[in-house]
């Protein structure tokens, strides 16, 4: 089958999933009665869907959560990039938890390790 002409069962399932996404879940019994030639495949699909649903529900909540654009955003950056602070505040400690490294390899150094 080509992707342009899906198998009939694939089209039935795709229509079913589209209807669910639109909030209009079709009656499964009616779908089975409408397509008796695919009853076994549809029952297997419904069983798989019911098995995946509990795991998918929390993920759906994340996907449907407000987008970052809906959440309070940071203030815009200054118009002049030179005004943007790139250094830690003066009150921040300049020595890391390991203190000052006096050498690195065979070269003397005075690098602060953070």
- Span 21-62, pLDDT tens digits: 898 989 999 999 999 999 999 999 999 999 988 888 888 777
Q: d(Cα 33, Cα 27) in Å, to the nearest integer?
A: 10
Assess whether pLDDT exceeds 60 at residue 3: no
pLDDT digits (tens, 9 = 90+) for 72-105: 666 677 777 777 666 555 555 555 555 665 655 6
Q: How is the chain split among helix, strand and coil, in percent rounded to 5?
A: 50, 10, 40
User: Bridge-partner residues for 104, per DSSP?
Assistant: 107
Strands 107-112 and 100-104: antiparallel
CA nearest 31: which of 11, 3, 59? 11
pTM (whole model) above 0.95? no
Instruction: Determine the pLDDT at residue 68.
Output: 64
Instruction: Determine the pLDDT at residue 26.
Output: 93
Provide the 10 A C-beta neighbour count for residue 41. 16
Least confident of 4-8, 68-72, 79-83, 108-112: 108-112
Tell me the percentage of the chain whose pLDDT exceeds 90.
34
- Report which DSSP code applies to 64: T
Question: In sequence order, what are the residues at sequence separation of 6 or more whose Cβ sits closer than 8 angstroms to the Cβ of residue 108?
Answer: 102
């Amino acid at each position: 089958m080509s992707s342009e002409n899906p198998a009939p069962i694939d089209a039935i399932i795709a229509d079913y999933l589209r209807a669910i996404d639109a909030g209009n879940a079709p009656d499964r019994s009616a779908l089975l009665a409408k397509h008796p030639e695919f009853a076994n495949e549809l029952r297997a699909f419904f069983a798989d869907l019911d098995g995946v649903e509990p795991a998918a529900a929390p993920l759906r909540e994340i996907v449907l959560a407000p987008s970052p654009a809906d959440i309070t955003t940071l203030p815009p950056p200054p118009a002049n990039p030179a005004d943007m602070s790139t250094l830690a505040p003066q009150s921040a400690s300049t020595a890391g938890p390991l203190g000052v490294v006096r050498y690195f390899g065979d070269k003397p150094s005075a690098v602060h390790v953070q």
